[in-house]
Amino acid sequence: MQAFTTLSSLVAPLDRANVDTDALIPKQFIKSISRSGFGPNLFDEWRYLDHGEPGQDPASRRPNPDFVLNQPRYAGAQILLARENFGCGSSREHAVWALEDYGFRAVLGPSFADIFFGNCFKNGILPVVLDATLIDRLFAEVSATPGYRLAIDLPAQTVQLPDGSAIPFAVDAFRKHCLVNGLDDIGLTLAQSDAIRTYEAQRRRQEPWLFA
Protein backbone atom coordinates (compact mmCIF):
# COMPACT_ATOMS: atom_id res chain seq x y z
CA MET A 1 0.00 0.00 0.00
CA GLN A 2 1.25 3.48 -0.85
CA ALA A 3 2.15 5.47 2.24
CA PHE A 4 0.57 8.86 2.93
CA THR A 5 2.50 11.60 4.69
CA THR A 6 1.95 14.98 3.01
CA LEU A 7 0.02 16.03 -0.07
CA SER A 8 -0.38 19.33 -1.91
CA SER A 9 -2.94 19.17 -4.68
CA LEU A 10 -5.73 20.70 -6.67
CA VAL A 11 -9.17 20.08 -5.19
CA ALA A 12 -12.14 18.66 -7.13
CA PRO A 13 -15.56 19.45 -5.58
CA LEU A 14 -18.33 16.84 -5.74
CA ASP A 15 -21.30 18.81 -4.44
CA ARG A 16 -23.67 15.92 -3.72
CA ALA A 17 -24.74 14.44 -0.39
CA ASN A 18 -25.18 10.70 0.29
CA VAL A 19 -22.97 9.54 -2.59
CA ASP A 20 -23.18 5.75 -2.39
CA THR A 21 -20.73 3.10 -3.51
CA ASP A 22 -22.87 2.17 -6.52
CA ALA A 23 -22.41 5.72 -7.77
CA LEU A 24 -18.69 5.49 -7.09
CA ILE A 25 -18.34 2.29 -9.11
CA PRO A 26 -21.47 0.72 -10.68
CA LYS A 27 -22.08 -2.97 -10.08
CA GLN A 28 -21.19 -4.16 -13.61
CA PHE A 29 -17.56 -3.13 -13.06
CA ILE A 30 -16.88 -4.96 -9.79
CA LYS A 31 -16.33 -8.50 -11.10
CA SER A 32 -12.54 -8.17 -10.97
CA ILE A 33 -10.58 -8.37 -7.69
CA SER A 34 -7.30 -7.11 -9.17
CA ARG A 35 -7.55 -3.72 -7.35
CA SER A 36 -6.49 -1.91 -10.52
CA GLY A 37 -8.16 -0.66 -13.68
CA PHE A 38 -11.25 0.82 -12.01
CA GLY A 39 -10.30 4.49 -12.39
CA PRO A 40 -11.84 4.98 -15.85
CA ASN A 41 -15.22 3.91 -14.43
CA LEU A 42 -15.18 6.01 -11.27
CA PHE A 43 -18.58 7.79 -11.06
CA ASP A 44 -19.37 6.13 -14.40
CA GLU A 45 -23.07 6.95 -14.59
CA TRP A 46 -22.43 10.63 -13.86
CA ARG A 47 -19.20 10.92 -15.81
CA TYR A 48 -20.51 9.59 -19.13
CA LEU A 49 -23.67 10.17 -21.13
CA ASP A 50 -23.81 6.59 -22.42
CA HIS A 51 -24.14 3.33 -20.50
CA GLY A 52 -20.82 1.67 -19.76
CA GLU A 53 -19.85 -1.97 -19.68
CA PRO A 54 -16.60 -3.70 -18.69
CA GLY A 55 -13.94 -3.73 -21.38
CA GLN A 56 -15.11 -0.62 -23.20
CA ASP A 57 -12.45 1.81 -24.37
CA PRO A 58 -13.04 5.03 -22.36
CA ALA A 59 -12.01 7.00 -25.45
CA SER A 60 -15.09 5.67 -27.24
CA ARG A 61 -17.46 6.90 -24.54
CA ARG A 62 -19.44 10.16 -24.49
CA PRO A 63 -18.26 12.20 -21.49
CA ASN A 64 -20.70 14.42 -19.62
CA PRO A 65 -19.23 17.94 -19.95
CA ASP A 66 -21.12 19.13 -16.86
CA PHE A 67 -19.58 16.56 -14.51
CA VAL A 68 -16.82 17.91 -12.31
CA LEU A 69 -14.15 15.35 -13.24
CA ASN A 70 -14.59 16.18 -16.93
CA GLN A 71 -13.88 19.88 -16.42
CA PRO A 72 -10.29 20.83 -17.38
CA ARG A 73 -9.81 23.09 -14.34
CA TYR A 74 -9.92 20.02 -12.06
CA ALA A 75 -7.67 17.75 -14.13
CA GLY A 76 -5.08 16.03 -11.96
CA ALA A 77 -6.82 16.76 -8.67
CA GLN A 78 -5.82 14.33 -5.92
CA ILE A 79 -8.11 15.75 -3.25
CA LEU A 80 -11.86 15.22 -3.50
CA LEU A 81 -14.20 17.55 -1.61
CA ALA A 82 -17.39 15.77 -0.59
CA ARG A 83 -20.65 16.29 1.24
CA GLU A 84 -22.14 14.34 4.15
CA ASN A 85 -22.45 10.56 4.31
CA PHE A 86 -19.98 9.98 1.48
CA GLY A 87 -19.48 6.31 0.59
CA CYS A 88 -22.79 5.02 1.94
CA GLY A 89 -24.55 1.94 0.55
CA SER A 90 -22.95 -1.45 0.02
CA SER A 91 -19.55 -2.31 1.48
CA ARG A 92 -17.81 -2.86 -1.89
CA GLU A 93 -14.10 -2.17 -1.53
CA HIS A 94 -14.00 -1.52 -5.28
CA ALA A 95 -15.30 2.00 -4.55
CA VAL A 96 -12.06 2.90 -2.82
CA TRP A 97 -10.01 1.06 -5.46
CA ALA A 98 -11.67 3.22 -8.13
CA LEU A 99 -10.86 6.44 -6.26
CA GLU A 100 -7.25 5.37 -5.79
CA ASP A 101 -6.85 4.15 -9.36
CA TYR A 102 -8.20 7.46 -10.67
CA GLY A 103 -5.57 9.32 -8.65
CA PHE A 104 -7.32 10.56 -5.52
CA ARG A 105 -5.28 10.32 -2.31
CA ALA A 106 -7.62 12.14 0.09
CA VAL A 107 -11.32 12.88 0.53
CA LEU A 108 -12.53 15.76 2.70
CA GLY A 109 -16.09 15.80 3.99
CA PRO A 110 -18.30 16.36 7.04
CA SER A 111 -19.08 12.64 7.45
CA PHE A 112 -18.43 9.25 5.86
CA ALA A 113 -20.12 5.86 5.89
CA ASP A 114 -18.32 3.64 8.42
CA ILE A 115 -17.24 0.75 6.17
CA PHE A 116 -16.12 3.06 3.38
CA PHE A 117 -14.18 5.13 5.93
CA GLY A 118 -12.27 2.05 7.11
CA ASN A 119 -11.66 0.81 3.57
CA CYS A 120 -9.99 4.13 2.70
CA PHE A 121 -7.30 3.65 5.34
CA LYS A 122 -6.70 0.07 4.19
CA ASN A 123 -6.09 1.21 0.61
CA GLY A 124 -3.90 4.29 0.94
CA ILE A 125 -6.57 7.00 0.89
CA LEU A 126 -6.96 9.51 3.73
CA PRO A 127 -10.57 10.43 4.62
CA VAL A 128 -10.60 13.71 6.55
CA VAL A 129 -13.64 14.71 8.61
CA LEU A 130 -14.05 18.49 8.86
CA ASP A 131 -16.80 20.68 10.31
CA ALA A 132 -19.73 21.16 7.91
CA THR A 133 -19.34 24.94 8.08
CA LEU A 134 -15.72 24.66 6.93
CA ILE A 135 -16.72 22.25 4.16
CA ASP A 136 -19.27 24.83 2.97
CA ARG A 137 -16.50 27.45 2.93
CA LEU A 138 -14.19 25.18 0.95
CA PHE A 139 -16.86 24.46 -1.66
CA ALA A 140 -17.40 28.21 -2.12
CA GLU A 141 -13.66 28.92 -2.39
CA VAL A 142 -12.97 26.06 -4.80
CA SER A 143 -15.82 27.19 -7.05
CA ALA A 144 -14.64 30.81 -7.04
CA THR A 145 -10.91 30.11 -7.44
CA PRO A 146 -9.51 28.19 -10.43
CA GLY A 147 -6.38 26.31 -9.42
CA TYR A 148 -7.48 26.09 -5.78
CA ARG A 149 -5.08 23.88 -3.80
CA LEU A 150 -4.90 22.46 -0.30
CA ALA A 151 -1.96 20.93 1.55
CA ILE A 152 -2.56 17.99 3.88
CA ASP A 153 -0.02 16.97 6.51
CA LEU A 154 -1.00 13.65 8.07
CA PRO A 155 1.81 13.47 10.68
CA ALA A 156 0.84 16.97 11.86
CA GLN A 157 -2.90 16.28 11.28
CA THR A 158 -3.54 19.57 9.52
CA VAL A 159 -5.10 20.86 6.33
CA GLN A 160 -3.41 24.07 5.17
CA LEU A 161 -5.56 26.57 3.29
CA PRO A 162 -4.25 28.90 0.56
CA ASP A 163 -4.20 31.81 3.05
CA GLY A 164 -1.66 29.91 5.16
CA SER A 165 -4.02 28.96 7.99
CA ALA A 166 -3.86 25.36 9.20
CA ILE A 167 -7.02 23.45 10.14
CA PRO A 168 -6.47 20.53 12.55
CA PHE A 169 -8.27 17.23 12.06
CA ALA A 170 -8.64 14.12 14.20
CA VAL A 171 -7.50 10.66 13.14
CA ASP A 172 -7.26 7.35 14.97
CA ALA A 173 -3.66 6.78 16.09
CA PHE A 174 -3.45 3.19 14.80
CA ARG A 175 -4.93 4.06 11.41
CA LYS A 176 -2.58 7.02 11.16
CA HIS A 177 0.41 4.78 11.91
CA CYS A 178 -0.62 2.31 9.21
CA LEU A 179 -1.22 4.96 6.57
CA VAL A 180 1.98 6.92 7.28
CA ASN A 181 3.97 3.68 7.02
CA GLY A 182 2.06 2.21 4.07
CA LEU A 183 0.82 -0.80 6.03
CA ASP A 184 -2.38 -2.56 5.00
CA ASP A 185 -3.59 -5.73 6.78
CA ILE A 186 -1.11 -7.90 4.88
CA GLY A 187 1.72 -5.48 5.56
CA LEU A 188 0.92 -5.50 9.27
CA THR A 189 1.10 -9.28 9.28
CA LEU A 190 4.36 -9.40 7.34
CA ALA A 191 5.89 -6.96 9.82
CA GLN A 192 5.65 -9.82 12.33
CA SER A 193 7.38 -12.33 10.04
CA ASP A 194 10.22 -13.09 12.48
CA ALA A 195 7.81 -13.78 15.34
CA ILE A 196 5.64 -15.95 13.08
CA ARG A 197 8.65 -18.01 11.94
CA THR A 198 9.81 -18.43 15.54
CA TYR A 199 6.37 -19.61 16.59
CA GLU A 200 6.09 -22.07 13.70
CA ALA A 201 9.54 -23.51 14.43
CA GLN A 202 8.66 -23.95 18.11
CA ARG A 203 5.37 -25.61 17.26
CA ARG A 204 7.12 -27.98 14.85
CA ARG A 205 9.44 -29.07 17.67
CA GLN A 206 6.66 -29.46 20.22
CA GLU A 207 4.06 -31.08 17.94
CA PRO A 208 5.99 -32.75 15.10
CA TRP A 209 3.11 -35.14 14.32
CA LEU A 210 1.15 -32.18 12.90
CA PHE A 211 3.81 -31.73 10.23
CA ALA A 212 4.32 -35.38 9.26
**Can you name the residues that pair with 129 across neighbouring β-strands?**
109
pLDDT value at residue 141: 98
Measure Cα distances from 81 to 12, 31, 99 in Å: 6, 28, 13
Q: Which CATH fold would you assign to the domain 6-181?
A: Aconitase; domain 4 (3.20.19)
The whole-chain average pLDDT of the chain stands at 93
- Burial code (b: 16+ CB inside 10 Å, e: under 16) for 115-145 equals bbbbbbbbbbbbbbbbeeeebeebbebbeee
For 42-63, write each residue's pLDDT tens digit: 999 999 999 999 888 988 999 9
Instruction: Calculate what percentage of the chain has a pLDDT beyond 90.
Output: 77
For 151-164, write each residue's pLDDT tens digit: 999 999 999 999 99
Segment 98-110 mean pLDDT: 98
pLDDT band at residue 78, thresholds of 50, 70 and 90? very high
Asked whether 84 and 111 are in contact (CB, 8 A), the reply is: yes
User: Does residue 167 carry a pLDDT above 80?
Assistant: yes
- Give the residue from 137, 139, 127 showing the smallest Cα distance to 165: 137
pLDDT band at residue 96, thresholds of 50, 70 and 90? very high
pLDDT value at residue 143: 96
* Beta strands at 149-153 and 6-13: parallel, antiparallel or unpaired: antiparallel
pLDDT value at residue 35: 77
DSSP state of 37: S
Segment 31-42 mean pLDDT: 86
Of the candidate ranges 83-97, 128-142, 155-169, 175-189, the one whose mean pLDDT is the lowest: 175-189
Half-sphere exposure (Cβ direction) of 149: Cα atoms closer than 13 Å: 9
